Structure 1
Amino acid sequence: MPTSVWDSVLTEFNTAVVREMQQRQLQPNTPIRASWSLLIESKIKRVFERTGIPLIIYGCACTAAPGKVQPHLLQIDASDKIGFHSMLEAVDGPKLDVLVHSPGGFAEATETIVEEIRRKFGYVRFIVPSYAKSAATMMVMAGDEILIDEDGELGPIDPQMLTANGVTPAEAIKDQFQKAHDEIKDDPKKMQVWFPILQALGGGILVQCDNAILLSKELVAKWLAQYMFRADPDRTAKAQKVADYLGTHANFKTHGRRVKLEHLLPLDLRVQNLRADADLYARIWELHCALDIILANTPIYKIFYNSAGAGMVRQQAVQQGIQLRLQQPPVLPQAAPSPAIPVPLPGPT
């Protein structure tokens, strides 16, 4: 029976786990590479052999089973700066590929990371095989070119504000204040209804919303004009058009809405369908499947790796080793129960 690429990579992963268990049983005092790192390295190597361009991957467990870690741990934040810095140290330009799989995060952290990448590399191509939303979409817009799968997705960049009632789109907060203003103006008695609602949003929220909306659009427009559209005489206008489209909440109705390849093409972005090059697509999809399996089946929830063999991960504290959730590895014949398996890391956690 034919198997999917994902199933084939899972079999590779399980085989590697079994091999690691065997080595630890036979050589308990010898440092042994973690099976996941060998798998991801082999897939990165295959992509690099095809492109000849240094590659960095930045992946988060944002599409793993819900509840693996707290959502805030998956965000692009200031702690990611050391991960990107470490990966950039080991590779040289002038070109760079960056594979991104992320739900987004803080615009300020994204700005710092983009500046470091662009300071070293004159030509950057961002690769999105599946998922790069919100601030990760902003990061992708700092490239000279985008490779995205036809089933992949970017997302709106409109800011989300933390309020007493949870996370709310900045533009929705502004719209709500405007609605309250209009209704109270027409009927002052409605002040009694609106007052507790508006009070819960806190002081200064409207100014914060304006600033956050302005920042996300400004960064994207600046990066597009500086990089992707730099040779275009209309670069400023084109960059602003893209930033306004992605940054307007009303265009999408929800922050999680998918922005597809077909939405990006009319904006004159340098975006390519990943499947246009069948061989490159096959290699990148294997790499993405390996990344997905590792993030779903190990304590790792965030991973940085590059084509020079350097890696860094963030993982949950665990009492035992690798815990497969999707498919158990084959049982070793006539083997005693395995001891807990520590997971050696190629870099600091």
Structure 2
Amino acid sequence: MRILFEKLALILLSISILSSCMGVDSKVLDEINLATAIGYDYVDETHIKAIAVTPLYYPDKTIKNVTFSSKSSLSKDIRDEMNQQSERPIYSGKLEVVLYEKKLAEQGISHLIDTLIRDPSIGTTLNLGIVEGSTKDVLSQQFGNIDKGIYLSKTIEQNIETGMLPKNNLHLFLYAYHSEGMDPFLPIIKALDGKVIIKGNAMFNSKGEYVYQTKSRENVIFKMLFEDTTNKEGFSTKIDGKEFASVNNIITKRSYKISKPMTDTPITIKLEIKAMLREYTGKEINPKMIKIIEDKMSKDVKERSEDLVRNFQKLHVDPLGVGEQVRTRTRSWDKKKWDEIYTSIPINVEAKVEILESGVVE
């Protein structure tokens, strides 16, 4: 009986605390603006322009996205200026996404991201992105009756879960940025006709400067090289002079073969790819043709992968984390030495494509 009484008292106490918290939250929400999206644009070498979006919810379930903008040399000053424009203080506790103009990213954005990690109200799962054009163009778009921050965040997350984007967020960006054997990357988006389009991935060097954007044919390849993944999107390959085949619903597993870490001995990345044949422009599909398609696709993935890796080496960026793979396999890790040899180490890719189903229409 005593135990039952204690449990009942605990439940009543919890309800009381929750009720009081809800009352406080309700009151606070009526007195503040919660920014869900923020964008930063380049002005000049010493100034940036920021735009923040705060949603207003009306009783008829409509949502109005209110924007505030300011220009300064420090992000803290920008927030102060925005607060001067608003009848209620602006807080970042519900921030969903932060965007950076590509031109600004070329100058380096590590100092701007530093302000995010210093704000305890911002979670590490926050989505980040690079924008073709200005962030103002994106945040000024009307995406229907929806909070812009939530819309942009869900668009990025959907492309991570089922599309061409590898896993990424504020925490993972910072991990790669501070890692000795890896460089960060972020998704690139563009505003078009009231929507946003995922264009690819922006690669950053060790200084936090944007240096490269993956092309459309490189996006799926990059995701397969970066992580084990299940990807609903696919790719196509030319089979002969005029026939093409495409696959989707790709399941990829990757592994590394590093026989002599911290030397110029070749490194091999192995890709095992299982997929469904989505389309074939030829006349007939049979076991013999399936084998031909598998071999052609395996060769194609290998060539495209090695081209991408060599491009990363030329740019001296390592978004795949090859250095991290080496570091975990040796006790004689030396970052300075790795930086010197990374660009010249032969990095080969072995790819094996297996087609699981071929239910295609001629």
> TM-score category by the smaller chain?
under 0.3
Q: Which has the higher contact order (CA 8 A, sep 6+)?
A: 1
Structure-2-length-normalised TM-score:
0.25
TM-score (norm 1): 0.25
Q: Which has the higher helix share?
A: 1
Q: Higher strand share goes to which structure? A: 2
